[in-house]
Amino acid sequence: MDKEQNRHVYWNPYFGGFLLGLLIILTFYITGRGLGASGAMKSSVVTMVDATSHEYAKKSAFYSKFVEGDKNPMNNWIVFETIGILIGAFISGGLAGRIGWRTQHSPKITKRRRLIFALLGGVLFGVGSQIARGCTSGAALSGIAVLSTGGFITMLAIFGTGFLVAYFFRKNWI
């Protein structure tokens, strides 16, 4: 089978989920904590605010926790985890021949509309992850891995809301 025919063959999602479960167990074993990526975004934002106005960051109730003394918000294991995820995704995409500039969208919508919806969805998910004190992987998957009630509630809220809202946005993909 040549590379062009194999372009859209993906792993079985159940096998991927199984591997993710093993990864969560390994992460708990090695770090004593679960997975999570929203913390890396927070560290990046804090670093940018601190670089823009160190005085503002020092006086802010939120930012000061991360920049006081010799603290560097980028010196956090979750930042390195996220960098590893990006590198791993790039390697995986390269090995599968899926690296390229393209925007996948339904023929019913424009590329611009697809990108706007993706950006808005990312921003809303980022804000929601800060309100929930964690993203899907941190709050839901890692929470469920330790049988936390909050983890189950978060997972139900994420997928339940997605299921309810999908009806109104399905014309963008179907």
- Residue 8: band (very low, low, confident or very high) from pLDDT cuts 50, 70, 90: low
- 125-169, pLDDT tens digit by residue? 888 877 877 777 777 888 888 888 988 888 888 888 888 888 887
Same domain as 72, residue 30: yes
The SS3 assignment for 133 reads coil
Domain boundary, last residue among 39, 68, 100: 100
Q: Decide if 144 contacts 155 (C-beta within 8 A).
A: yes
Domain boundary, last residue among 60, 79, 100: 100
Same domain as 90, residue 24: yes
Q: What pLDDT shows up at residue 91?
A: 92
Give how many domains the chain has, as a whole number.
2
Q: Decide if 138 contacts 38 (C-beta within 8 A).
A: yes
Same domain as 155, residue 133: yes
Same domain as 124, residue 74: no
Query: What range defines the domain where residue 63 resides?
Result: 1-100
pTM over 0.85: no
CA separation for the pair 2, 16 (Å, rounded): 24
Same domain as 126, residue 84: no
CA separation for the pair 142, 139 (Å, rounded): 6
Question: What does pLDDT average to over the chain?
Answer: 83
The whole-angstrom distance between residue 134's C-alpha and the CA centroid of its chain comes to 10
- 78-108, pLDDT tens digit by residue? 888 888 888 998 998 888 887 888 877 777 7
CA separation for the pair 71, 47 (Å, rounded): 11
Sign of CA dihedral 15, 18, 20, 26: negative
Domain boundary, last residue among 77, 100, 123: 100
Same domain as 171, residue 114: yes
CA separation for the pair 27, 12 (Å, rounded): 22
Same domain as 6, residue 87: yes
CA separation for the pair 121, 153 (Å, rounded): 21
